Chains A and B, each alone.
Chain A
């Protein structure tokens, strides 16, 4: 069964600190993995998208890694800011006829001053 699991469910850190969010997936055949940031009540904003051959990709203070062998991904946030408080969602696309998206439940990140 295709699944995406994220950890932790929620995370509280102080402003300026770094953090790492985890994503494990069992999706086959794999097409790509995306990380989204979503504020409450708003649409998701794409942070990174990685294909099978990519190990790491950065977008400003966000760096995503992908290990296709172990089927794990991480999102590292550097020097957190209050505006980073949001839900971070890992989404894996299956390389089937529909390019089905399998969504993780997200990690709630709260940045405290």
Chain B
């Protein structure tokens, strides 16, 4: 069965650069969530989208933005990167009609140097 795909799996950037992470949900899933997990920390919910509209916003910095496209894939855009942005970013997808059974992607490990 198809799973959530995230790309790239690893990304290394310099401070003040920008990065774009991509998430491809399971086919027919209409909801996408983004999370940030720092080393040894709880995952922090960033933002979610349902049917291409933002459905909830968590601790997403103003330097970050995200959107969900017509094909339901989502992109997390990160600008003016800081050392503290180094983390594992993963997304999950679900079908809202099935009460949010989430499937998580493998994550993108971002390292900011």
Contacts and interface: CB of A to CB of B under 8 A. Distances in A.
Contacts of A86: 99-100
Contacts of B24: none
B37 interface: yes
B42 interface: yes
Interface of B: 31, 33, 35, 37, 39-43, 45, 48, 50, 55-56, 58, 88, 92, 94, 96, 98-104
A68 to B, nearest CB: 20
Given A41-B48, A41-B55, A43-B33, A87 B102 contact: yes
Interface in A62-94: 85-87, 89, 91
Interface of A: 9-10, 34, 38-44, 46, 85-87, 89, 91, 98-99, 101, 103, 105-106, 108, 110
